[in-house]
Amino acid sequence: MDGALTLTDTRSDRGADTPAAVLDCAGLTRSFGDRLAIDDVSLRIAPGETYGLLGPNGAGKSTTIRMVCGLLTADAGTVTVAGLPMTPGAPARALVGYVPQDVALYPDLTARENLRFFGHMYRLRGKQLAERVAEVLDLTGLTDRGGDRVESFSGGMRRRLNIGAALLHRPTLLVLDEPTVGVDPQSRHAILDSVRAFGAAGMAVLYTTHYMEEAERICDRVGIIDHGKLIAEGTPRELVAQVAERDRVELTATGNLPGFATACAALTGVTHTDSGDGMVTLLVEDGRAVLPAVLDAAERADIAVRSVQVVEPDLESVFLHLTGTSLRE
């Protein structure tokens, strides 16, 4: 496998007048036809801060970051990076490293050739390009494989090289769009550790995911996005405090699950219910206290319960609390 990426401190590259926020999005709004995809989203990311944009598929994460990276124009609102306005083609784009959701590498080129190609796009040339390519191969732990074609790489190695390509020009803001989708667990851990290290080295990081445990693990602050709106923002601890003492009860079961969820909603101590994918999820005041009544309700509704889990409050509970639906894959 695939070791963690490591990074040296990039803060020395910054001027003394570094603005308080590296990224400042104000009132971002964007529609596609009559579909309002992003609705008045504002967020700020400070130097060294890792900000997680957490939301289900279709919530508006990619659209937001495409505007942040200057790849899509907003209908309303502004993006500034290190105080510079971001619009398609603006100089501010040079401050951003963008890691797209899909791996964007040339399989029949070697890792080194891929990096040289991307380095050219960032206008790196000659000795500086050679140095940065060597630096990124080192950072990604791929120096030994630099001369090998990417088609021979594992999925995790491709992801790491994909991230490396966005680091060639030493960006002030690194934007990663769901970089662990489809990656094996070990590579996933390596990528998450690396993103943590980028933040620790002073980079501002915008990280989108629909895995709440990733957001909890690596993000200093999290914004929850749903139907194009930023519906909550804070540290994972602050967000979890919003659902107070509520536990989550997760039952995997077969039978009429929507009907069972409705029956559970009527039980004392149950505050939210959701069902889908062979699972019923309940937010409850006290998981253990409510279990007998839930299991009685299952029996009455002829539900075959396969497993029951009581989970203490986490970001998944926050999402269920705020939206009434589970943040499932």
Ligand X SMILES: Nc1ncnc2c1ncn2[C@@H]1O[C@H](COP(=O)(O)OP(=O)(O)OP(=O)(O)O)[C@@H](O)[C@H]1O
State the residues that interact with ligand X by CB under 6 A. Answer: 32, 35, 37, 55, 57-63, 210
How buried is residue 304: exposed, middle or buried, by Cβ count under 10 Å (0-12/13-18/19+)? exposed
Are 21 and 173 within 8 A, CB to CB?
no
Smallest gap, in angstroms, from Cβ of residue 36 to ligand X? 9
Are 36 and 75 within 8 A, CB to CB?
no
329/323 Cα distance (integer angstroms): 16
Smallest gap, in angstroms, from Cβ of residue 244 to ligand X? 28
Smallest gap, in angstroms, from Cβ of residue 277 to ligand X? 17
Smallest gap, in angstroms, from Cβ of residue 261 to ligand X? 25
Nearer to ligand X, 35 or 237 (CB): 35
Nearer to ligand X, 2 or 177 (CB): 177
259/106 Cα distance (integer angstroms): 50
Nearer to ligand X, 38 or 284 (CB): 38
Nearer to ligand X, 62 or 273 (CB): 62
Of residues 139, 204, 146, the one with CA closest to residue 6: 139
Smallest gap, in angstroms, from Cβ of residue 72 to ligand X? 8
Smallest gap, in angstroms, from Cβ of residue 209 to ligand X? 9
Here the contacts of 3-6 (C-beta below 8 Å, separation 24 or greater) are 3/141, 3/190, 4/141, 4/189, 4/190, 4/193, 4/194, 4/197, 5/139, 5/140, 5/141, 5/160, 5/163, 5/164, 5/190, 5/191, 5/193, 5/194, 5/197, 6/139, 6/141, 6/194, 6/197
Smallest gap, in angstroms, from Cβ of residue 66 to ligand X? 8
Are 162 and 101 within 8 A, CB to CB?
no
Nearer to ligand X, 218 or 294 (CB): 218
Of residues 3, 32, 1, 5, the one with CA closest to residue 199: 5
Nearer to ligand X, 12 or 32 (CB): 32
Are 248 and 326 within 8 A, CB to CB?
no
CA count, 13 A, side-chain hemisphere, 231: 20
CB atoms within 10 A of CB 65: 24
Of residues 71, 80, 66, the one with CA closest to residue 27: 80
Nearer to ligand X, 17 or 34 (CB): 34
Smallest gap, in angstroms, from Cβ of residue 228 to ligand X? 7
Nearer to ligand X, 21 or 59 (CB): 59
